[in-house]
Chain A
Amino acid sequence: MVSLNDVSGSLLHKPTDSAHSVGTRTDSQYKPLTTFNLSHQRSYQQQYGDMYFLRLTKIKPAVEEVAAAAWERTVIGDETAKQVERVLDVRQGELCWVVGTVYMNLQNKPNILEDVSKDRWISKPDPVHKYFKEDETEEIMLEDDSGRVRLVGDILHKIGLSTGCIMAVMGTENSNGELEVIDVKFPDLPPQPERWALSGQPGTQGNGVKKVKDEDQEMSGQTGGKKKKVAIVSGLAFSGSDASYALELELLLEFLLGEVLSPDAQSELSEISRLIVAGDSISGSDVKPVTEEEKKNKKYGYDASAYNAVPSQLFDEFLAEILASIPVTLLPGPQDPANSSYPQQPIHPAMFPNAREYTNPPGSKEPGWLDIVTNPWEGEIDGWRALGTGGQNVDDVYKYVNSEDRLGMMEAMCRWRCCAPTAPDTLWSYPFQDDDPFVLKDCPHLYFVGCQPEFGTKVVSGPAGQSVRLITVPSFSATKEIVLVDTETLEVTKVKITAA
């Protein structure tokens, strides 16, 4: 309950003679990684099978370690559990444990083999809300390069699983050839790097530190002790036709520029050192589907009626305006003009004729002021290792499990050490040959996922003292919310913008 009189930061008075000050924004210590960047000369000829093989070989040692610690000398009945190397080595009636990749066969899940055999070649499958269906038709299998075994057991229904995650199971094979699972183990969180592991902390001794100090002496002096925040937003969905949240976007712009609000609050806004846009900056609703008739009268070359440039122009203007004050990291999302398969590559700067002045010239080592990055993206923000995605990875795992707990799915992905387990099965992906970048080598401190239906956050911790801040970032166009992360404490606040 507030009345007009007890508002401290009020500008409801006559203009004063004293000049208003201009705030200075905190600088952003920022080092992006190129984990998910693909080579420009990439080939799409290869098979996807290698990805599963790579993932299994990379994660298997970690799972084995966890499983061995838990199940070594486990005796059930008279039998001691022992490890078998391959899924095919599982013998009927023997208590054993084995590591493999989960494969799930669900009622509504698209099946590539079925599509091929029935000669269905549609370009895009119909969107399915959930692959999961509440009946007993689901099949969970464990496979490796030798073969596959069907898993049964109540425990499987208690834990959420998705295709592509690596786990160890202990049990015995029954007469139906199914493995009756007694217990399962996951690799759990990967080792977590120290803070400032990549960029070096400004203001203490160390290698990278000196460089920072030499370059901008006065900057590092200013940052000391000051609170710093990072703003994360997703689903800005600039649109040429839907103006229902245009004013909120305008207010967001003024908020980020620090023009709205009163002097005290404005100085708080200057603590926001970076904006991260986690996908869906441009609305996909403006793209009208091509009808059968239009397909026939196909025009070659540029067809102005088929493409509406307004959304990207609006976004470009938005970016160009805020970039004068705040650096931006831009991830593509499902609706953005980037490739649709994971990992999505950066949106081409040609989309932003105005804002691209802030990008780096090609070949430059420094991160750009406008850093157009991949999805997923990994980097270091103020020393914290951050992992962010545009949301497709969570959206796809969401379809596998009978749950609405998206934070739980994010946690599961961390514990599975894989940030896109369902790629390349149901999440379209580039066919990697030499490395599966979705496997988490390092545990992030901050893991955010954009374009989610609602905001959520929690902290999960691992056995070796790891701790990860998970955030689901809601779509701004739907919720009008943006997320602020304090980069000293990793505490999260959010700001809701309403225009009634």
Chain B
Amino acid sequence: MDEYKKFLADRLLSDEQPITYRLLSRALGIHVNTAKEMLYDYHTYQNGIKAESIHATYVVYGTKTQNNTAEDGDVEMSSSMPEHEPLSETVPTTTLALIRQENLEAALAEYQEVVSIHMYSLAPGPQRDVSLLYDVAKSLAEYTSKEDPLTAGEKYGTIRNLNVRRRDRQARPKPGSSTTSQPAKAQPPKAQPIVPVKSEPAAATKKPSPFEVAAAAAKLKKQPSSQTPSSSETPTSSAAKPAPALKRGGSGSIMQSFAKAKPPKPKPEPKKEEDTEMALSDDGEADDEDIAKEKSEYKDSDAVRKSRKQREDELRRMMEDDDEEEKSEQEPADEEMEEAPEPEPEPEEEPKEKEEEPAETITTTANGRRRGRRKVMKKERVMDEQGYLVTIQKPGWESFSEDEAPPPKKPAIASSNSSTPASSAGKAKKSTGKGAQGNIMSFFAKKS
């Protein structure tokens, strides 16, 4: 018995899951056209053993007979027919139809010419609702997300394009890409070493692979490393972890990626105690980390967990008040944002302006007192011509005389005072009262 028949039997008869040619092609790593033929072969084979045990859908592509197009039971079509005016040219229409096997003969009768026909899917029972196949199609992402679509397409028979241009994914550091909505997408580096090995010896031979497929269809998330001894515990962790990651909103995922980027430092310790398989997958991925975490927790108990928690707290605090830090970490994300037109220039310009115009001029500095004039925004309330009270802000100069800045700040001022009074003023401003405001400013800039 052929391997693919075994695979299909597992999928269709044991798991009672429908399968499409695309899923079969991805699961076995074969060309889609071969997969279509396999579906047909299995369909005849299985129904030969037991009639009506497997039901198929077909794709028929061709030109329909003109008269029949109007009355093919399509609601949209018939509703738009009356409006049809001879003002438009009639053009040849090719119809690509997905047809259940019960309707195949009738459907074919409507065609004038059929260019191609093949099996689309098999299911263990009559498929009353073909839209269920959409769910099967969606589970395909399990397979494709692991590999680079550009290279993998060739194996499956996707029309290749020699001119395709893509920005280099590798050039982009992890945090940036893992903030995207799909946690699965961040996995390629790990999956690549596994896939070539696994897909070629045709997963069908071993038990694990059909199991994988079933698991894939059942849960939407699955651990690729089901062959490892730890497979019994991984499903729980994988099912639990990636799902919330998917749901979490913007800042949450930033946090997560941030945390992800950091850990490697303290991690090596527990890592050494792991088996080699663990060490192999050290790429800071969420899944691996979970496993590592789980295991290390068994061993190092609370100490590790606690330090981890502390670290995360620290990080959170850092996120909140230290923008500088965040900026350097989030560089890749920021690069993306550069395309956003407005927000960028603003935060850049604002501080510059402040520094450029001299906010205060110091005329004398003597006896520990500074005298001079400085620029302030004055609020003025005036009554305008129509009798409305209007509050306006006016820039104005006021003279001042004050003690020199308190001792702790002295060095900074003293050093720059002689050379550039303007910059010293700027610095003084920042460190006193205004400092908080500067922070708020940059916070808003970040948000936007």
Q: Which residues of A contact B (CB under 8 A)?
A: 1-4, 7-16, 19-20, 22-25, 27-28, 40-41, 216, 219, 243-244, 246-247, 250-251, 254-255, 257-266, 269-270, 302, 304, 309, 313, 316-317, 320-321, 323-327, 348-350, 353-354, 356-362, 366, 368-369, 404-405, 407-408, 453-459, 472, 478-481, 491-500
Contact = CB atoms under 8 A, between A and B. Distances in A.
B389 to A, nearest CB: 24
B61 A494 contact: no
Given A40-B342, A262-B116, A269-B159, A247 B164 contact: no
Contact of B34 (A20, A255, A270): A20
Contacts of A404: 83, 85
A219 B340 CA distance: 35
B165 to A, nearest CB: 5
A492 B134 contact: no
B420 interface: no
A492 B120 CA distance: 28
A221 B167 CA distance: 26
Nearest to A469: B89
A269 B167 CA distance: 26
Contact of B98 (A40, A251, A266, A456): A251
B182 interface: yes
23 contacts: A1-B65, A1-B109, A9-B117, A13-B40, A22-B160, A25-B161, A28-B163, A247-B134, A261-B118, A262-B115, A262-B117, A264-B115, A265-B115, A326-B159, A348-B339, A353-B179, A354-B182, A357-B166, A369-B164, A369-B165, A459-B89, A495-B96, A500-B103
Contact of A20 (B83, B97, B157, B179): B157
Majority secondary structure of chain B interface residues (helix, strand, loop or mixed): mixed
Contacts of B119: 11-12
A479 B34 contact: no
B33 A354 contact: no
A353 B37 contact: no
A261 B58 CA distance: 10
Nearest to B159: A258
Given A247-B137, A354-B180, A408-B87, A14 B41 contact: yes
A425 to B, nearest CB: 26
Given A15-B41, A313-B181, A456-B88, A358 B118 contact: no
Interface residues of B, number: 91
B416 interface: no
B137 A250 contact: yes
Closest CB pairs A-B (n = 3)? A40-B341, A9-B116, A456-B88
Contacts of A499: 97-98, 130-131, 133
Contacts of A354: 180, 182, 185
Contacts of A495: 93-96
B319 to A, nearest CB: 15
Contacts of B94: 493-496
Contact of B161 (A326, A359, A456, A457): A326
B29 to A, nearest CB: 13
B405 interface: no
Contact of A219 (B33, B153, B162): B162
A8 B115 contact: yes
B31 interface: yes
Contacts of A349: 336, 339
A341 to B, nearest CB: 16
A15 B34 contact: yes
A472 B114 CA distance: 27
A216 B163 contact: yes
B56 to A, nearest CB: 10
Contacts of B105: 3-4
